[in-house]
């Protein structure tokens, strides 16, 4: 599958790193398989599957059988925690993305929790990630944008030196301009809308619904969290990462002038208010934390120093865990094709979020470990013990164990590796680590995600297609969950 993603210019190819897998006894004594408390709940082991959107829902945002089976399969591996995919808090159409925006979703989510816990023999805690995002539209046709969507302003008239032309004549003049000259006539925002498609920013204070975000979002998140608690989730992860609303408030590029932008203290104000509202809504029995970035990895974006400050403030506010990612922004996303929308994981910052096997001298493995270590150190230095989750290219046992032994993190997150082999945790714990399928980091899964196709892994999606009752992708070519691991037959 052709990937529409940025790659480092060095183009160094990497293979997953195999290791000396532990015996069952060694695994039992490893910090990886020790328990840990996150607020009011306790994980059976220090492993964590971060939220990933597999595109298994429907246009109504409901829990489907495909959604349930996807997470049941993860649960069969018995990780410490599974975070259910980013789930929308607004009751608006958002494609095949799960929603938690209305009470009508509670029954389906409750069934999901029930079946996932049963599949893990109650060994796995189940959390849900809740998200808000702003509007984004597809890249328009050039002539259509200049003819219909662009609002003609005095600035355009002045730059064209055409005070006597009608609006129609001005638009035709713009259409006739070469792109380099058109770029000089349009302002930066207008040209971005033409080249990448319209999208909203948290700094668009001229739009009433954007100006009102600080007044609206705490209640929206709190209502969604309350539904999650009613559905039986053990915890809630607030999505403060990547290209979405809350991350945009934290961003150093947030220059709102209403007290919610500018300084770090102002930028973190709304994320803390959202957390406080959620905590009030769900009480002390549900774990509440957030996922945020160690670095935005974009020009003029938030950096590691910002992340350390945010982490301490989140810990001070009483969050039960901090889960760290990096990059994944719209700001440097590749230009989409006409008729497609920009995707935040296609540029250099997207690569930092999901590095592939074609990489630079550092390589794709563990790019977020040192930044996570710095964030955790800041939290500890401030006197807090809030558990910190690290993810990013961790795939073998030695990597995971060393991360914990060196106190670089408290919990090991595995996203693509868990997708490649949902049984990683059971296999390693039982002394069968040599049977683990290691993720190859080709980002085959990411290519499917970009196209909003049902996400699968190339290591297993065409295996054992003759098995009875397996669910297949819409095109009928791929199985939707990994084959079941049988320890007795070692297959």
Could you state, in chain order, the average pLDDT of each consecutive group of 10 residues for the chain (491 residues)? 77 95 98 98 98 96 98 98 98 92 98 98 98 96 95 95 93 95 95 96 98 98 98 98 98 98 98 98 98 98 98 98 97 95 94 95 96 98 98 96 98 98 98 97 94 95 94 96 86 60
For residue 286, what are the contacts with CB-CB under 8 A and spacing of at least 6?
40, 225, 228, 229, 233, 234, 235, 236
Whether residues 243 and 378 share a domain: the answer is yes
Whether residues 96 and 189 share a domain: the answer is no
The CATH number assigned to the domain holding 248 equals 3.20.20.70
Q: What pLDDT was estimated at residue 3?
A: 53
Q: What pLDDT was estimated at residue 93?
A: 86
For residue 479, what are the contacts with CB-CB under 8 A and spacing of at least 6?
456, 460, 461, 462, 463, 464, 465, 467, 470, 471, 472, 473
Structural domains counted in the chain: 2
Whether residues 231 and 116 share a domain: the answer is yes
Residue 125 covered by a domain = yes
Residue 299 covered by a domain = yes
Neighbouring-strand partners of residue 128:
84, 236
Cα–Cα distances in angstroms (integers) from residue 53 to residues 130, 382, 407, in the given order:
12, 34, 29
Whether residues 352 and 298 share a domain: the answer is yes
Residue 2 covered by a domain = no
Nearest-angstrom CA–CA distance, 480 and 39: 34
Whether residues 172 and 313 share a domain: the answer is no
Residue 474 covered by a domain = no
Residue 490 covered by a domain = no
Q: Select from 368, 383, 417 the last residue of a domain.
A: 417
Q: What pLDDT was estimated at residue 486?
A: 87
Q: What pLDDT was estimated at residue 47?
A: 98
Q: What pLDDT was estimated at residue 465?
A: 95
Whether residues 128 and 166 share a domain: the answer is no
Whether residues 174 and 262 share a domain: the answer is no
- Structural domain of 122: 12-136+212-417
Whether residues 250 and 276 share a domain: the answer is yes
Residue 411 covered by a domain = yes
Whether residues 123 and 267 share a domain: the answer is yes
Q: What pLDDT was estimated at residue 215?
A: 98
Q: Select from 367, 393, 417 the last residue of a domain.
A: 417
Residue 6 covered by a domain = no
Whether residues 30 and 155 share a domain: the answer is no
Q: Select from 354, 388, 417 the last residue of a domain.
A: 417
At 17, give phi and psi (nearest 5°).
-95, 115
Nearest-angstrom CA–CA distance, 423 and 431: 12
Sign of torsion over alpha carbons 140, 141, 142, 143: negative
Q: What pLDDT was estimated at residue 490?
A: 60
Q: What pLDDT was estimated at residue 258?
A: 98
Residue 485 covered by a domain = no
Q: What pLDDT was estimated at residue 257?
A: 98
Whether residues 307 and 373 share a domain: the answer is yes
Sign of torsion over alpha carbons 334, 338, 343, 345: negative
Whether residues 298 and 385 share a domain: the answer is yes
């Amino acid at each position: 599958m052709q990937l529409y993603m940025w790659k480092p210019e060095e183009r160094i190819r990497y293979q997953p790193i195999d290791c000396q897998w532990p015996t069952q006894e060694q695994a039992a004594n490893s910090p990886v398989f020790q328990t840990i408390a996150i607020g009011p709940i306790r994980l059976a082991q220090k492993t964590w599957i971060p939220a990933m959107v597999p595109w298994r829902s429907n246009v109504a945002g409901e829990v489907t059988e495909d959604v349930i089976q996807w997470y049941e399969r993860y649960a069969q591996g018995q990780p410490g925690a599974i975070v259910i995919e980013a789930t929308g808090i607004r009751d608006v159409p958002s494609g095949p993305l799960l929603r938690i925006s209305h009470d009508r979703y509670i029954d389906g989510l409750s069934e999901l929790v029930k079946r996932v816990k049963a599949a893990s023999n109650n060994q796995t805690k189940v959390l849900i990630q809740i998200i808000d995002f702003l509007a984004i539209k597809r890249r328009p046709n050039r002539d259509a944008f200049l003819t219909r969507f662009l609002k003609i302003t005095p600035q355009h008239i002045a730059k064209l030196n055409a005070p006597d032309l009608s609006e129609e004549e001005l638009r035709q003049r713009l259409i006739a301009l070469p792109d380099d000259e058109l770029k000089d006539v349009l302002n930066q925002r207008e040209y971005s809308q033409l080249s990448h498609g319209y999208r909203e920013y948290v700094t668009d204070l001229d739009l009433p619904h954007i100006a009102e975000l600080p007044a609206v979002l705490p209640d929206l998140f709190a209502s969604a969290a309350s539904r999650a608690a009613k559905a039986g989730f053990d915890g809630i992860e607030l999505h403060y990462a990547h290209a979405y609303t809350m991350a945009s408030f934290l961003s150093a590029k947030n220059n709102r002038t209403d007290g919610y932008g500018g300084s770090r203290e102002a930028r973190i104000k709304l994320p803390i208010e959202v957390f406080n509202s959620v905590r009030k809504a769900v009480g002390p029995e549900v774990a509440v934390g957030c996922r945020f970035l160690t670095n935005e990895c974009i020009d003029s974006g938030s950096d590691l120093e910002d992340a350390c400050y945010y982490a301490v403030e989140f810990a001070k506010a009483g969050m039960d865990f901090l889960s760290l990612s990096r990059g994944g922004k719209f700001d440097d996303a590749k230009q989409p094709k006409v008729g497609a929308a920009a995707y935040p994981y296609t540029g250099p910052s997207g690569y930092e979020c999901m590095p592939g096997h074609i990489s630079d001298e550092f390589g794709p493995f563990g790019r977020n470990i040192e930044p996570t270590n710095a964030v955790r150190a800041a939290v500890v230095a401030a006197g807090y013990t809030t558990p910190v989750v690290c993810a990013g290219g961790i795939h073998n046992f030695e990597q995971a164990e060393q991360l914990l032994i060196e106190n670089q993190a408290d919990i090991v997150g595995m996203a693509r590796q868990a997708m490649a082999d949902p049984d990683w945790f059971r296999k390693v714990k039982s002394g069968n680590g040599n049977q683990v399928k290691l993720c190859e980091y080709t980002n085959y899964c990411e290519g499917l995600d970009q196209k909003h196709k049902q996400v699968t892994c190339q290591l297993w999606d065409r295996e054992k297609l003759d098995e009875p009752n397996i669910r297949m992708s819409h095109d009928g070519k791929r199985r939707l969950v990994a084959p079941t691991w049988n320890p007795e037959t070692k297959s």
